[in-house]
Amino acid sequence: MKKMRLKPILFMIAITVIFTGVLATINEITAEQVELNEQAAEQRSFLNVVDLDYENLTAEEVNQLYEETFTEITAGGHDLFEVHINGDLLGYVYPMVDSAVWGELRGIIGIHRDFEYLLGVEFLSHNETPGLGGRIEEDEFKDQFRELDISDVEGDNFVDYEGEIDAISGATGTSNAVRNIINNHLYEFFNEVKEELQ
């Protein structure tokens, strides 16, 4: 019978424990900062979707402005946010999540209180190719949705690439996925959520 050698096993266990320990420590030290960053990035996206300026604000001021502006509510079985600017209702922010070309895409749509035009669109996270589909997060693409008129839309054809909005050249797949996600969620909003809102 072959002799069982213990040394390599112990060596491997020891070195794994040491390295995992170091990583766990670093992770523990930075966890709070990482969470703050993620929260701040998400709050900036929310402020951006309703076109509020946050350029010169610190993370804390962003957080404060976010708390003042957005109130989470539930309507028609869906979670969404009410947007109040200086106490007046400006509109709603509706979250969207679905799979795009390379993975899950999370975003938010801002809808004006009259339901006649969009406030804007933001993407919170996605896995599209940098430089191609990833360009959906550039202002040039997103700004096309600002004040997009949706008052006389039939069915779910809110966004197409034949009129006011240009797709991203070289990223047809992502552009189409984004169009479908936005259209589906707006359709859902108008059919299941809108009636429940005051």
The residue ranges that bind other proteins (CB under 8 A) are: 7-8, 11-12, 15-16, 19, 22-23, 26-27, 30, 33-34, 37-38, 41, 127, 130-132, 134, 169-170
Residue type for position 27: N
**92 versus 123: smaller Cβ distance to other proteins:** 123
Q: Which residue has the tokens 């359709």?
A: 187
Least distance in angstroms from the C-beta of 22 to other proteins: 7
Is the CB of 17 or the CB of 85 nearer to other proteins?
17
To 5 degrees, how large is the angle CA 132–CA 135–CA 140? Answer: 135
- How far does the chain reach from its first CA to its final CA, in angstroms? 80
Cβ neighbors of 102 (< 8 A, separation 6 or more) are 127, 128, 129, 133
* CA pair distance 106, 124, nearest whole angstrom: 5
Nearer to other proteins, 34 or 85 (CB): 34
CB of 23 to other proteins, least distance (A): 6
Give the SS3 label for residue 137: helix
**Shortest spacing between CB 21 and other proteins, in angstroms:** 10
CB of 108 to other proteins, least distance (A): 17
Distance in Å, CB of 197 to other proteins, minimum? 33
Residue 83's nearest CA partner among 56, 108, 116 is 108
Identify which of residues 20 and 71 has a Cβ nearer to other proteins in the complex. 20
| 79-82 long-range Cβ contacts below 8 angstroms, 24+ apart | 80/189, 80/193, 81/46
Closest CB to other proteins among residues 8, 163: 8
